[in-house]
Structure 1
Amino acid sequence: MIFVLDVGNTNIVLGIYKNEELIVEWRLSTDNRKTSDEYMIEVAQLFAYNKLEVSDISGVIISSVVPNIMYSLEHMVRKFFNKKPLVVGPGIKTGINIKYDNPKEVGADRIVNAVAAHEMYKKPLVIIDFGTATTFCAVAANGDYIGGTISPGIKISSDALFQRAAKLPRVELIKPETVICKNTVASMQAGIVYGYIGQVDFIVSKIKEEMIALGEENPMVIATGGLANLIAEGSKSIDKVEPFLTLEGLRIIYEKNRE
């Protein structure tokens, strides 16, 4: 079995694959103040709760956009699993040709998503990852990572509205039935959610135009991340939601680098 870890700015998503099947998935808060022992205790509790044996783990792979946390996580893996983790970064085989001006600037999560989506669909793709930031990635039919866009995540936008406007409350991120609302909470929810749906559809339309101009066929649009379903419900541009796209990409990259 393979233990995979996707470290984001807000959450660490962990999963265990048995062959090609994701048998369990967990989320922990990202906290670079935690020691390797603290993370080890949390992981040990998750294993015990799910009646999993540490000895069954044959390999570990990590992707991270939080450099400060890696020392603790890598040491946790060495202590708990007695293995050196594979870390997504320069020198790792991905099968993806990155066309960025500086390929090292592309976040590990974006590369991992591109690997998974290309392996799954083998066609031009727009990949949207709804995380702390929302990333839009353009991937060619041959697997080239063409580039993309980064915007503030929906939770960041919502928190900023609450923090900077004295009379506005913090609201739950749900989609009201109407845009013309009769109270402050619903008005904020409509503005945040429908405004974000509009942003997603516009950015996707522009990416599609540019990809077609480069000679790609009309791209398929894949969404992933915690709020993907919320936005996909109202979006005209999202074709498929893949909630475990990043974990699947980690499994694929591990297999490519197994030897």
Structure 2
Amino acid sequence: MLLAVDIGNTSTVCGVFEEKGNITALFTFKTEIPVSSEEILIKLKNFLELYKIKLKDIKGLSIACVVPSALNYWVEMGKKWLAREVLVADHTTVDIPMDLLYPSEVGADRLINALAGWEKYKTSLIIVDFGTAITFDCISEKGVYLGGAIAPGLFISAEALFKKTAKLPKIDLSEIPLQTIGKDTISALKTGLLYGFTGLTDYLIDKLSKEMGSSPKVIATGGMAKFIVPLSKKIEKIDPYLTLEGLYYLWKQKKP
């Protein structure tokens, strides 16, 4: 079994894959800087026990991380306690053609999404990842990663509003406003956040598509996608496990 780990700024998402690529376990926890590799091991062991998976069943560890201060602890845990081989995704390990000025600057999650998107769909593609930030990644019809765009995420924008404005309450974004004109503060906040970010998303997709000179397939992933995709006119589907699947594809390519 392979343990795929996507360490984001807000959450860490883990998936356990069987040899043929089926996900047998999936769990998420808050990203924190651990004090030791043993701390990660204990947390991981507790989650795996829920699925009746033993640590010895994990034969490999594939990681995408955008939090450098957490990465070393995960690598140490993998090599010391879990697996013989630990694979870390970056511009040197992800084998996809890139048309970029500075490949080393691109986040591992974006590279992995591009790899997974091409492996799964084999067509020109825009991947919108709704995480702490919203990233837009463009892949050409020949499988070249072209770059994309980055915007503030829905959650951190909402949090900024709540922290900087004393009278604005926290709200439940799972309920779509029935009308655009908010008649109270909560409905006005929902309109601004949900429809505002939908507008941002669809406008950027339209601009990126025109610059690509094609009609790319548009898919979404990330934990916040469920709030925006139902309102979007441009996104075709949600692919919730895309990043984890990319880590699986990477492992298959690099497997010792």
TM-score by length of 1: 0.95
Deviations 1:142-179, CA, capped at 9 Å, x for gaps? 11111100000001110111111121112222321211
Aligned residue among 225, 247, 250 for 1:253: 250
Q: Which amino acid aligns with 1:62?
A: I
> Counterparts of 1:77 and 1:51 in 2: how far apart (Å)?
19
> Counterparts of 2:23 and 2:136 in 1: how far apart (Å)?
25
Q: 1:91, CA displacement in angstroms?
A: 3.0
> Counterparts of 1:171 and 1:229 in 2: how far apart (Å)?
16
> Counterparts of 1:220 and 1:49 in 2: how far apart (Å)?
37
The secondary structure found in structure 1 opposite 2:90 is: coil
Q: Which amino acid aligns with 1:89?
A: D
> Counterparts of 1:21 and 1:186 in 2: how far apart (Å)?
41
Q: 1:82, CA displacement in angstroms?
A: 4.2
Q: Name 1:227's counterpart in structure 2.
A: 224
Q: Which amino acid aligns with 2:138?
A: A
> Counterparts of 1:59 and 1:154 in 2: how far apart (Å)?
34
Structure 1 segments (4+ residues) deviating >2 Å:
none
1:9 aligns with 2:6: no
Aligned length: 254
The secondary structure found in structure 1 opposite 2:42 is: helix
> Counterparts of 1:89 and 1:195 in 2: how far apart (Å)?
33
Gaps of 5+ in 1: none
> Counterparts of 1:14 and 1:26 in 2: how far apart (Å)?
5
User: Superposition pairs for residues 8-47 of structure 1, below 5 Å?
Assistant: 8-18=8-18, 19-47=20-48
Q: Is the Cα–Cα contact under 8 Å of residues 205 and 234 in structure 2 kept in the other structure?
A: yes
Q: 1:33, CA displacement in angstroms?
A: 4.0
- Once the two structures are overlaid, the 10-residue window that deviates more, 191-200 or 53-62, is 53-62
Q: Is the Cα–Cα contact under 8 Å of residues 95 and 143 in structure 1 kept in the other structure?
A: no
> Counterparts of 2:143 and 2:12 in 1: how far apart (Å)?
27
Q: Name 1:169's counterpart in structure 2.
A: 169
The secondary structure found in structure 2 opposite 1:178 is: coil
Q: Is the Cα–Cα contact under 8 Å of residues 130 and 153 in structure 1 kept in the other structure?
A: yes
Q: Which amino acid aligns with 2:242?
A: L
> Counterparts of 2:83 and 2:7 in 1: how far apart (Å)?
20
1:12 and 1:34, CA in 2 relative to 1: closer, same or farther beyond 3 A? farther
The secondary structure found in structure 2 opposite 1:197 is: helix
Gaps of 5+ in 2: none
Q: Name 1:69's counterpart in structure 2.
A: 70
> Counterparts of 1:55 and 1:142 in 2: how far apart (Å)?
40
> Counterparts of 2:25 and 2:191 in 1: how far apart (Å)?
34
The secondary structure found in structure 2 opposite 1:13 is: strand
**How big is the alpha-carbon RMSD for the aligned residues of Structure 1 and Structure 2?**
1.2
> Counterparts of 1:83 and 1:153 in 2: how far apart (Å)?
36
> Counterparts of 1:142 and 1:253 in 2: how far apart (Å)?
19
User: Superposition pairs for residues 29-178 of structure 1, below 5 Å?
Assistant: 29-92=30-93, 94-174=94-174, 175-178=176-179
The secondary structure found in structure 1 opposite 2:231 is: coil
The secondary structure found in structure 2 opposite 1:160 is: helix
> Counterparts of 2:195 and 2:25 in 1: how far apart (Å)?
33
Q: 1:90, CA displacement in angstroms?
A: 4.1
Q: Is the Cα–Cα contact under 8 Å of residues 3 and 15 in structure 2 kept in the other structure?
A: yes
The secondary structure found in structure 2 opposite 1:62 is: strand
Q: Is the Cα–Cα contact under 8 Å of residues 113 and 246 in structure 2 kept in the other structure?
A: yes
> Counterparts of 1:65 and 1:142 in 2: how far apart (Å)?
27
Deviations 1:169-212, CA, capped at 9 Å, x for gaps? 12222321211222211110111011000100000000011001
The secondary structure found in structure 1 opposite 2:16 is: strand
Q: Is the Cα–Cα contact under 8 Å of residues 77 and 84 in structure 1 kept in the other structure?
A: yes
